[in-house]
Amino acid sequence: MQKIKIKLKLLSDMYSHGDNMEKAEFRITELKALMRNTFREIYSFKNLKDMIEKEGALFGNTKHKSPVSFRLKSIVPKEKQDSSYLRTNTEVTLYMMIDDFNSDSYEFYLYLLIQSSILGGLGKDCKKGKGRFKIEKVEIEGKSKYENLLNMEHIDFLKNYNDLQYNIKSETIRLRKIKKSTDTIVTYEPLVEDLKFPYLKEISFAKDFPKKIYNNDF
């Protein structure tokens, strides 16, 4: 098992806690839940059974453990802050570990993490813009990787990496195809069958929204 070092930076205040509501935490469980939700929202499934099998292969289920895990290394605030929340610009370093380590596997989970950072956030009020984050740096065996990828614009990343495909445990994982797109809108093909859970049909970016995924703060 090889570790991939990932440095994140908070773009907005994060309100995430464990049992102690007065002490903020960066919770790995919330990060993996966000990745699961993003997977359900923009990936392709034939039916509900297909979705459950693919999600289980990627994130584990009652029959087998998840092939991917994360471990928190450090949290570095940019300034002295209230311990009840993590302030904007706080830096979080973590490790991503994958059992079957190869370029296809770690790139798939890295791309999913980037998609998750574009579409969602962590902690309380994440749907109101709290807990947003960006990936600042990826290191493999001590070497910085994917600088060009981390500098792409949101919409360009979603359009240019729409043909991703990953095979795991006899399951083929694919994104839903983009039906149409403009400079500010991405529209996805509908699912073949209504799976009775929320999924994205269209993503719209405000024209005055900072375009860089990872080099501009909100």
Let me know: does 87 contact 16? Beta carbons within 8 Å.
Answer: no
3-state secondary structure of 60: coil
215 pLDDT above the threshold of 60: no
pLDDT for the residue 175: 93
Which amino acid, one-letter code, is at 195?
Answer: L
Question: Quick one: pLDDT at residue 206?
Answer: 77
Average pLDDT of the residues in 68-78: 90
Greater confidence, 37 or 210? 37
pLDDT value, residue 211: 47
Ramachandran angles phi, psi of 2, nearest 5° = -110, 145
Average pLDDT (28-49) is 93
Model confidence at 192, in pLDDT bands (50, 70, 90)?
confident
**205 pLDDT higher than 50:** yes
List the beta bridge partners of residue 71. 95
- At residue 1, does pLDDT exceed 70? no
Q: Do 96 and 4 meet the contact criterion of CB atoms below 8 Å apart?
A: yes
Q: What is the pLDDT of residue 218?
A: 34
Amino acid identity for residue 9 in this structure: K
pLDDT at 124: 87
Stretch (H or E) spanning 150: helix 147-150
d(CA 114, CA 91): 16
Tokens of 2: 């090889």
Mean model confidence pLDDT for the chain: 86
pLDDT tens digits for range 122-161: 988 887 888 899 999 999 888 888 888 898 888 899 998 8
pLDDT at 101: 62
For 86-99, the pLDDT digits (tens) are: 899 999 999 999 88
> What is the token pair recorded at 44?
């392709």
DSSP state of 148: H
